[in-house]
Amino acid sequence: MATYLFKLPDIGEGIAEAEIVAWHIAVGDRVEEDQQLADMMTDKATVEMESPVAGVVRKLAGEVGDQIAIGSVLVEIETEGADAAAAPAEAEEVPLADGAAVPTQAQEEANPTLDVEDAPELVRPERSAERIVEGRSPEPQQERASTSLSTNEDDRSHSGPILTTPAVRARARDLGIDLAQVKHQGEHIRHADLDAYLLYNGGQVSGRATALRADEQIKVVGLRRKIAENMQAAKRRIPHFALVEEYDVTALEETRAMMNRDRGQNPKLTLLPFLITALNKALADFPMINATYDDEANVITRHGGVHMGMAAQTPNGLMVPVIRNAERLSIWQLATEVARLSDAAKTGKATRDELSNPTFTISSLGPMGGVVSTPVISPPQVATVAVNKVEDKVVPVNGELEIRKRMNLSLSCDHRAVDGWDAASFLQALKPLIENPLRLLA
């Protein structure tokens, strides 16, 4: 018997330590060669640690959330045979999967698969909340054609079968209301009778659960902790100001629908490639917004190319894959990159380079985007824009009222680098581009 000391290898240039985000083994477990031991996270990437030997786990370096220094012992494994014992721990290298962040089974179960078909701008979870209702009313029974109720004509209660429509019965079941307790006029219980029951019972319904689950504590680790630290640093270091402008996207939506009908093998277009194209064109005239701010050196760098970050919700939390030199790509090429990078972020296959160094960021919640938002700038960037939902509004057009599709863009800027006049001028420069999509296609 011999003890193999598996030391944490150098898993990134300039990285001094890494965080334990998941253990896949426990003390006493039997492990095989190349079996996954743990997931370790640096600033941007999660890396799988695999065992170079077979044996029994005797000691682990810490718990989930602990920081482990590069070169320190991560796992002690009791091995059999001289060959395994003789292998020097210092020589072990763990190959990186292009900096991929691979979600664990527990993370996958806690975060459902995301749908990016029509809004890859910000991937949306497909989870429906399941109601937990104790003391529910019985399942709907087959409606009876005719039943006499032995009640007063003006104030009926129930001593026999309950007559009502399937919709009323379903609503009562959803609310946890016992239909036998609902007074009503006429032969059937109607929605108005349910409303009256709720009103005169002070909103208290019998048998309805008031607490769906017990309290739980969740340790903030891994990407969630990085997001928290970055957002806290951003709000502490950057003097934010926000500006919101409304745009008419009727023509843009018509153009998008037309292009999608004739797209052939091209990916389905969302609003995002059009908006990125508009931003690219406007940023060329406002270089102070496509910039980064170095706090320590007090230097602002105005970037020639646009490295467009796009915020994406993933099972592991918010990530920002980056479209390199987005100004060089057509709308169709941008649509391809948006889909590719959204999928890479969602599945944990985005590389370190694909998650690094944006010069400007766009985020969108699609139809859930609200009316106004105040996005947080991620340093060292000096600006970010959030896309709000598209709404039908009645607006005056040439003296006539028309229903038009309208959308707000919310721009947040670092006041150390961007003045209010510049921000307002930038949003105005976007208007002719967004409201006349032919300018985007030129």
How many Å apart are CA 139 and CA 406, to the nearest integer? 44
Cis peptide before 380 (omega within 30 of 0): yes
Q: Which residues are catalytic?
A: 415, 419
Residues 278, 327 contacting (CB under 8 angstroms) = no
Residues 46, 40 contacting (CB under 8 angstroms) = yes
Helix (H, G, I), strand (E, B) or coil at 108: helix
CA distances from residue 220 to 200, 229, 270, 340 in whole angstroms, order as listed: 45, 11, 34, 29
How many Å apart are CA 222 and CA 64, to the nearest integer? 9
DSSP secondary structure string for all residues of 269-301:
P-HHHHHHHHHHHHHTT-TTTSEEEETTTTEEE
Residue holding tokens 């409606």? 143
How many Å apart are CA 101 and CA 345, to the nearest integer? 8
